[in-house]
Amino acid sequence: MQRREPCSSTFLQPILIISLAIRHKLVHTGSSSNARRDALITTLLLTSAILTSLAHGVLLAYSVCLGLFRLFHAHAVSVAQRRAPAVTATVQN
């Protein structure tokens, strides 16, 4: 399995491209008020991207755990049903 870097996510690529474009504009503009506004926009974009990615990861991990719990529960019920007649027969003898 190939290891992927967090920044190479398909979801984050457009956000990173936008933030790089804003940073490029920030460097090449002389006005400090525009630079502050652009820095704020860049910060908001990156913060939103990080929080969205974190929320996506949490939901994915939750769904994996929930699925495995259901699988283990079904397995435990199946094993209990198979062992119940054997225990009953042993007790009756």
Please, what is the average pLDDT of the chain? 77
Going by pLDDT thresholds of 50, 70 and 90, the confidence category of residue 77 is very high
**59 pLDDT tier (thresholds 50, 70, 90):** very high
What per-residue confidence (pLDDT) applies to 47?
87
Q: Flag the least confident range among 42-51, 53-62, 84-93.
A: 84-93
> Closest Cα partner for 19 from 49, 42, 38?
42
Listing DSSP states for 10-62 in one string gives: TTTHHHHHHHHHHHHHHHH---HHHHHHHHHHHHHHHHHHHHHHHHHHHHHHH
The amino acid sitting at 10 is: T
**15 pLDDT tier (thresholds 50, 70, 90):** low
Is the pLDDT at 75 greater than 90, yes or no? yes
